[in-house]
Amino acid sequence: MKKQIVVFTDLDGTLLDDGYSFHDAMPALELLEGRCIPLVLCTSKTRSEIELCRRDLNNKEMFISENGGGIYIPKKFKIKNLKSKIKIKEEENYFVIKLGADYSALRKALEEIRFAGFAVKGFGDMSAREVAALTGLKVSDAELAKERDFDEPFIFKGNKEQRERLKKEIQQKGYYTTEGELLHIMGESDKGRAVTLVKDLYAQHYGTIVTVALGDSPNDVEMLKNVDYPIVVRKKDGSYNRNIISEVPGCIKADGIGPAGWNGAVKKLLETLLL
C-alpha cells in the first residue's frame, strides 16, 4: 500500500534563515510541491505571521500556530471524528482547534510574576518597534507577531538560578515555559499534541501516512518525538540543540545550517522514501 508522506516543519532557524528567507530551501520545496507532499507549518509564530508565510510559499495545508496553541484547518478538508474529543470552531476560512490558554490569562500571569520581582517583559509590554529590534523583523511583521492568541514570548534578565525559580513560579500558576529564540509562557498545549491531532486528520484524508518533522530548538522536541522521521537542523553556530539530541534518540542530523540544512535533509530523505 502506498503511504502518503506528510512533512511538519518549524520556521525560524529551520525553514527560515536569520533574514526570514527560505531561498536556500527552494529545491526541496519544489520537490514537495511537485510530489503533492503536504508541508505543515508548526511554529511559535502567530496565525497572521503564518498566513503571510503561507502566501509566500503558496502553501494551502493545515498549520499549527503559537507552539501548538491553535490548529487551523482549511475548509477543503472534510473533518470526521477525531480520536480525542476536541471541540472544533468554525470560522470564515478555517475549522479551528484551540489547544492553548487564553492570551489574556497569560498576560495577567506574566504581570503577576513581574510584580513578584522577576525581570520579565513580554511582547504585550513592547511596541512593534521594540519587537522588531529584538527579533530582526520588519516593524510591519512585528505588528503581526504581537497579534497573539495562545502564547506569550518574553525576555528575562537573571542568572541560571533565578531562571529556575521563574519556571517554578510559572508552574505554580498553572502554566508552562518553552524555549525557541525566546522564552514563552503557555498553557498545556505543545507542538507534539497538535502534531498528533493533525496526523489523525491527514490519515482520515489520505489513509496510511508516513510523517517527517524538522526543527532546531527545545520547543520542537515534542513535535519531533511524534513523527516517524525526526530531523534536527544545525543552528547558525553549526551546533545541534542538546535538548533534541538527548530527548529524541535516533533523530536524523541535517548536514547544513537553517534552510540549507533543511533542503539537503528533505531531499536526501525523500530519495529514500520515494523509492
Numbered ranges of CATH 3.40.50.1000 in the chain: 4-99+190-273
Portion of the chain with pLDDT greater than 70, in percent? 98
- Using the predicted structure, report yes or no on whether residue 224 has a pLDDT greater than 90: yes
Query: Rounded to the nearest 10 degrees, how much is the dihedral formed by the CA atoms of 91, 96, 101, 102?
Result: 0
Write down the architecture of domain 4-99+190-273 according to CATH.
3-Layer(aba) Sandwich (3.40)
For 8-18, letters b (16+ CB in 10 Å) and e give bbbbbbbbbbe
pTM here is 0.93
CATH number of 103-186: 3.30.980.20
pLDDT in tens, 131-153: 999 999 999 999 999 999 999 99
Distances 71 to 20, 99, 137, 241 between C-alpha atoms, Å: 22, 8, 24, 26
10 given a catalytic annotation: yes
Residue 22: CB atoms within 10 A of its CB come to: 21
Active-site residue (options: 10, 141, 190, 200): 10
